[in-house]
Structure 1
Amino acid sequence: MASNTLLSCLIDVSFDMDEALTLQPNFGHQIAESDSLVADLPTVSADDDVCSVCMERFQSGIGGKQVQCGHVYHAACISSWLSHCNSCPLCRFNISCSK
């Protein structure tokens, strides 16, 4: 089990955000799973914040999706991210296994 944790960490460290955001995902069920996971996340006010995935401000009154570690992202941004990687873009907290 320790080797699985190590492998997961090595994969996360090697993750390239630029590559992930430019690739056309070919994992249909991973996208559906990430959309479902994001739909269940709480929407919080983030008027003065910036999404760390796209680096754009949140629109006033719309808010963002807060993952379990507390970081907030645009719903589409975090869904796209989670279709490639199962951890928070900022702190690498495992999102798919924590509820």
Structure 2
Amino acid sequence: MRSLAKTAALSALLGGAATLSACGGLMDNEAMYQEFASTCTTSFTAEGGPAEMAKPFCDCSTAKVREQELGPMDFLDEEKMTAIGEECGQEVADTMLGA
């Protein structure tokens, strides 16, 4: 579960970073957060994550990215992004399993 959450979050983030670089410049943080949110669900399910967990996981991940005011380079920091993915994966699993 944690591995899947970590992989999905990382995929979404790297996809967002690739989109940023394809634009030829850096977008403001709000646009970056919106791009992350819009690609997260697709990436999560594409990596094999259960569809019913995608929205809560992505909502949690997006909220944590915003709370920490992460910038473009932070999205490439595997340690930070893994921590967010693991924390959100655990929160969603606990909620869904009633723990």
Query: Do both share a fold (TM > 0.5)?
Result: no
Higher strand share: 1
Q: Point out the structure with max Rg over C-alpha.
A: 1
Higher relative CO (Cα under 8 Å, sequence separation at least 6) belongs to 2
Scaled by the length of structure 1, the TM-score of the pair is: 0.31
Higher helix share: 2
